[in-house]
């Protein structure tokens, strides 16, 4: 009886292991620009604030080295400025 429990436990552990290579696991999830666009939509719908949106945009710029080109209101521009000041050495 005890041996059958061990076999069942080992089977569950072996079947439940994630065998996805680390490089493959890193490719899952939304693309960075998708995340920025979702943050902007949430910001315009007033589900997140300007500071949170600025953090997401700043991280996108830092990670990709790309420039974003879209219109920002005064609150988001001020939040982007604060975020840039925090990151400045």
Residue with tokens 């219109």: 71
Please give the pLDDT value at position 13.
42
Give the start-to-end residue ranges of the domains of the chain: 30-89
Nearest-CA neighbor of 42 among 16, 76, 3? 76
- The CA distance from 60 to 33, in Å, is 7
- Quick: pLDDT tens for 34-83: 999 999 999 999 999 999 999 999 999 988 888 888 899 999 999 999 99
Residue with tokens 């080109």: 69
- The CA distance from 87 to 19, in Å, is 38
- The CA distance from 35 to 49, in Å, is 15
């Amino acid at each position: 009886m005890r041996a059958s429990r061990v076999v069942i436990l080992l089977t569950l552990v072996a079947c439940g292991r994630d065998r996805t290579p680390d490089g493959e696991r890193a490719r899952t999830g939304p693309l960075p620009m998708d995340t920025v666009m979702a943050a902007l939509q949430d910001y315009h719908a007033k589900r997140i604030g300007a500071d949170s949106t600025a953090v997401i945009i700043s991280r996108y710029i830092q990670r990709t080295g790309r420039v974003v080109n879209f219109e920002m209101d005064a609150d988001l521009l001020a939040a982007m400025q604060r975020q840039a000041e925090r990151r400045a050495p």
